[in-house]
Amino acid sequence: MPRTVRPTFALTAATAALLLAGCTGGGGSDSKGTTGFGGAVPDRAQAGATASPTPTPPPTGPYVALGDSYTAGMKLPPQAGGPDGCYRSGANYPSLVAKGLSIAAGQFKDVSCSGARTEDLTGPQKVPGGTNPAQLDALTADTRLVTLGIGGNDAGFMEVVTECAKDNLVDILKGVITDGGDRAGKSPCRDHYASGNGTDEVQRKVDAAGDRLGQVLQDVGKRSPKARVYVIGYPGLLPADPASCLPVLGKTVAVSDLGFLVEKEQQLNGMLRKRAEAAGAVFVDLAGPSAGHDMCAGEDKRWVEPPLPARGLVPIHPNARGQEAMAGVVQKAIKG
């Protein structure tokens, strides 16, 4: 049975209100560091791929794209396919990859959906305007190319960002009363998720998502045994030096907690890489190529929008420039 509608990998109005407190528009860091909100930069953009003296020609289809809002291209025009609540764009990276590989329209199927978790790959996902069928149902024995971008919603990253903003606000109010506002070195969000045994709540969710992803990749192999499978990582949301985000984020999140957020997506991308390699799939790193294009970069450089996005765009989600750049990295990995 379809499940009740749950929030997509986007910000609710309440979340945005919390995050936008203290935020300003405009550019921020143009950091060229080798790690972003996603992990270390590999030697090659298509991390996980191995060199071959005789490269295999890229598949010409059928191609099936699976994933969440970062794959769907949430609310980027033109919107394509239903249900409406998936907010799937005809200019997302799967569509651009299909075009770049000259895959015919009839050989390309994009079933990604905003808000999707790993469970929505094997079961229906109810969204505003209808129900997105289990994404793996789009696979067949004839499928030759599969891209999969999933995991952020399983880890609850939007909820974590919201919690960090809330905890920071509470800590500011407490600090004004108890210590005159001295908050140097404080990490209220890290403290919130700490378990005391070295594994915090977010890491446990990432680990659990990894177990489910491992099973999903086995299922993909059974349904489409001749397909080449690519697991797509997440682009960097924050620069290597989170403190350089202060011009954009202001005091919304403590600097030390920005470091905590960096660590959490590094763990997520690390899990995706590990599970891809274990299943014989290729992990495509987006954190490295997106360095200097995080949400704190200038409007003309960023791939991901900040909490206060450009008009008509979704906070903390890839913009059109980001989808195009991501498509380039994915296509490069597929071509080898």
pLDDT at 198: 66
pLDDT digits (tens, 9 = 90+) for 286-326: 999 999 999 999 899 999 998 888 888 999 999 999 999 99
User: How large is the average pLDDT for residues 182-207?
Assistant: 76
For helices 255-278 and 157-178, angle between their N-to-C axes, nearest 10 degrees: 160
Query: How far is Cα 189 from Cα 199, in angstroms, rounded to an integer?
Result: 14
SS3 state at 174: helix
To which H or E segment does residue 125 belong?
A: strand 125-127
Among residues of the chain, what percentage have pLDDT more than 90? 55
Domain assignments of the chain as residue spans, ordered by start: 13-335
- Which is more confidently placed, 119 or 8? 119
User: How large is the average pLDDT for residues 77-94?
Assistant: 95
Structure tokens at 206: 């990432």
For domain 13-335, which CATH number applies: 3.40.640.10, 3.40.50.1110, 3.20.20.70, 1.20.140.10? 3.40.50.1110
Is residue 188 very low, low, confident or very high in pLDDT (cuts 50, 70, 90)? confident
Annotated active-site residue 69? The verdict is: yes
Q: Which of 29, 290, 293, 317 is catalytic?
A: 317
Annotated active-site residue 293? The verdict is: no
Separation of CA 271 from chain center? 13
71 touches 94 (CB < 8 A): yes
> Which is it for strands 125-127 and 130-132: parallel, antiparallel or unpaired?
antiparallel
For residue 10, give the nearest of 266, 307, 210 by alpha carbon.
307
Structure tokens at 287: 């954190």
Q: Does the reported pTM lie above 0.85?
A: no
Tell me whether the omega of the peptide bond preceding residue 7 falls within 30 degrees of 0, making it cis. no
Q: Which of 10-19, 67-76, 140-149, 215-224 is least confident?
A: 10-19
| CA distances from residue 112 to 48, 72, 155 in whole angstroms, order as listed | 23, 5, 18
Q: Is the dihedral of CA 285, 324, 244, 307 positive or negative?
A: negative
Is residue 9 very low, low, confident or very high in pLDDT (cuts 50, 70, 90)? very low
Nearest 5°: phi and psi at 190? -60, -40
- Residues whose CB is less than 8 angstroms from the CB of residue 178 and which lie 6 or more positions away in sequence, other chains included: none
- Residues whose CB is less than 8 angstroms from the CB of residue 320 and which lie 6 or more positions away in sequence, other chains included: 76, 91
Q: Which amino acid is residue 261, in one-letter code?
A: L
Count CB neighbours of 301 within 10 A: 15
- Which is more confidently placed, 297 or 15? 297
Q: Which of 29, 69, 89, 114 is catalytic?
A: 69
pLDDT at 170: 63
Is residue 280 very low, low, confident or very high in pLDDT (cuts 50, 70, 90)? very high
**Helical H segments across 67-156, by residue range:** 69-72, 93-100, 119-122, 152-155
User: How large is the average pLDDT for residues 67-94?
Assistant: 96
Structure tokens at 110: 């994009």
Average per-residue pLDDT for the chain: 82
Q: Kindly state the DSSP code that residue 281 receives in the 8-state scheme.
A: P
Is residue 38 very low, low, confident or very high in pLDDT (cuts 50, 70, 90)? very low
